[in-house]
Amino acid sequence: MTKYTIVTDPNGVFVGAVQGHDLASKQNGISAQVSFAKGHQLHKVEVEDDLAKVTDPGVFLERILKHLPKH
């Protein structure tokens, strides 16, 4: 399984997904951080390993949304 962080807006609508659960990184003295607007929710999930290899955006969206927690 591979870790992803799914982002939804305040209404629960899918915004995007980031591979991994760590949204900050530092390498060779350079720091980077992924952040989202206030009210957005982050959902840490584990997905099938092959999801990272999906190149079709529609297929990726269909598969990642299956892991979005239901409310």
Domain range enclosing 48? 2-21+35-65
**Domain assignment present for 56:** yes
Q: Give the mean model confidence (pLDDT) for residues 54-61.
A: 96
**Domain assignment present for 49:** yes
- Is this model's pTM higher than 0.95 or not? no
Per residue in 10-54, pLDDT (tens digit) is: 999 999 999 999 889 999 999 999 888 999 999 999 999 999 999
**Domain assignment present for 71:** no
**Domain assignment present for 29:** no
**Domain assignment present for 28:** no
State the SS3 of the chain.
Answer: CEEEEEEECCCCCEEEEEECCCCEEEECCEEEECCCCCCCEEEEEEECHHHHHCCCHHHHHHHHHCCCCCC
Amino acid in the structure at residue 26: K
Q: In the prediction, which pLDDT does 70 show?
A: 77
Number of folded domains that form the chain: 1
Distance, in Å, from the CA atom of 14 to the CA atom of 41, rounded to the nearest integer, reads 10
Q: Please check the confidence at residue 71 and state whether its pLDDT lies above 80.
A: no
